[in-house]
Amino acid sequence: MPKITFIEHDGTVHTVDAELGASVMETAVRNDIASIVAECGGGCTCATCHVYVDEAWVERVGPPSPDEDAELDAAFDVRANSRLSCQIKVTEALDGLIVRTPSYQGR
């Protein structure tokens, strides 16, 4: 099982097992990572699952789709490495992925 590390804004680190094919958002929610709100449950319509992909992983994770980029308009402090975690699928290639959560998801 691939492992994903979430580093929350306050510095709390969670390294958790991720199911292949699930999204990074679902992985966070199953592991009670509170700074991923995911109000729309993965619909790419709420931007409350915003994460910053660790610089070392940006290339492997890839850029957001046009739809996701549009939804990022509703997120805050968006940076070049911003993604909506519900739109990142867990694959073997992402084993070891590190993402950080922003200080605020809009609620």
Partner 1 sequence: MSDAIKTDVLIIGAGPCGLFAVFELGLLDIKAHLVDILDKVGGQCAELYPEKPIYDIPGIPEITGQGLSESLMQQIKPFNPTFHLGEMVTGIENIGDPLYRVTTTAGKTFECKAVIIAAGGGSFQPKRPPIAGIEPYEDKSVHYAVRKMENFRGKNIVIVGGGDSALDWTLNLQPIAKRLTLVHRRDDFRGAPDSVNKMRALVASGAMDLKIGQVTELEGADGQLTAASIKDKDGKIDRVACDAMLPFFGLTMKLGPISDWKLDMDEELIKVDVSTFETNRQGIFAIGDINTYPGKLKLILSGFHEGALCAQRVHHYVYPEKRLVFQYTTSSTSLQKKLGVA
Ligand X SMILES: Cc1cc2nc3c(=O)[nH]c(=O)nc-3n(C[C@H](O)[C@H](O)[C@H](O)COP(=O)(O)OP(=O)(O)OC[C@H]3O[C@@H](n4cnc5c(N)ncnc54)[C@H](O)[C@@H]3O)c2cc1C
Residue nearest to ligand X (CB): 41
43 part of the interface to ligand X, by CB under 6 A: yes
68 part of the interface to partner 1, by CB under 8 A: no
Tokens at residue 83, please? 């993604």
SS3 track for 41-54: CCCCCCCCCEEEEC
Rounded least distance, CB 9 to partner 1, Å: 11
| Residue 99 backbone dihedrals phi, psi, to 5 degrees | -130, 150
Q: Tell me which of 19, 30, 41, 70 binds ligand X, using CB under 6 A.
A: 41
The neighbour count for residue 74, using CB atoms within 10 Å, is 14
Q: Tell me which of 62, 70, 93, 95 binds partner 1, using CB under 8 A.
A: 70
Cβ-based neighbours of 12, under 8 Å, separated by 6 or more: none
Measured from the CB atom, is 53 or 86 closer to ligand FES? 86
Q: Tell me which of 13, 19, 20, 43 binds partner 1, using CB under 8 A.
A: 43
Contact 11, 101 (CB under 8 A): no
Q: Which chain residues interact with partner 1 by CB under 8 A?
A: 39-41, 43, 45-48, 69-70, 72-78, 80, 103-104, 106-107
